[in-house]
Amino acid sequence: MFTGIVEETGIIGKIKNGISSKVLTIDADIVLKDTKIGDSIAVNGICLTVTGIHGNSFEADVMHETINRTSLKNLKEKSRVNLERAMAANGRFGGHIVSGHVDGTGFITDIKKDDNAVWYTIKTKENIMKYIVEKGSITIDGISLTVAATGSDYFKVSVIPHTREVTNLRDREINDIVNLECDIIGKYVEKLMFSQKQESGESKITLEFLRENGF
């Protein structure tokens, strides 16, 4: 599990392409401290397993399914990526619950300066938008952010200077593809409501029940 608080940005040092897979070599510093082979590191929000460590770099295998569902297919050598180690049990929970299992991708349609902040507008598919709510949490390339506004097929986030400086958002341009992971709580609620309705013909979880329990 991750929190969406990026620890550092790494640099793609090498990409070894298989028939339908990849092996990434990523240059890093902070995330390699206390890291061993088999540990998990989120790379642009994607949970990858460390398969090798060589000095100031680590290797991670990327399977076909991950390439199809994420923006990793667009990475090039020298690309900057957001990195976060799996959350320690005694660590602070500064972001929100992030699994590192990307729901899909979106693309940036607008970038606008607003005093000290920068607004990013991201367009995505309906099956992802249904889980995105105003003032809720969203993970963009592994960064935990608050949704500031939503439309039928887009949402907006407002990013402070610190977040831009310590992540690869500073490199992003219009039409760039980003990885998206929605807040997992909404997906669990949907699953519970649907499964209970299937079993009894009527869901026991109502809007009134959700409000009473803080949702």
Q: Which amino acid is located at 116 in the chain?
A: N
**Helix (H/G/I), strand (E/B), else coil: 31:** helix
State the pairing for strand pair 46-54/40-43: antiparallel
What angle is formed at CA 128 by the lines to CA 91 and CA 106, rounded to 5 degrees? Answer: 85
- CATH 2.40.30.20 holds for 8-85: yes
Domain borders along the chain are 8-85, 105-183, 184-215
Instruction: Check residue 92 and give its pLDDT.
Output: 73
Minimal CA–CA distance to 11: which of 77, 106, 74? 77
Instruction: Check residue 65 and give its pLDDT.
Output: 93
pTM here is 0.86
Can you state the percent helix, strand and coil of the chain, rounding each to 5?
25, 40, 35
In the 8-state DSSP scheme, what is residue 2? B
Architecture of domain 105-183: Beta Barrel (2.40)
Q: What is the pLDDT along the chain (215 residues), one digit of tens a residue?
A: 899 999 999 999 999 999 999 999 999 999 999 999 999 999 999 999 999 999 999 999 999 999 999 999 999 999 999 999 999 877 777 888 899 999 999 999 999 999 999 999 999 999 999 999 999 999 999 999 999 999 999 999 999 999 999 999 999 999 999 999 998 888 888 887 766 655 555 555 566 666 666 66
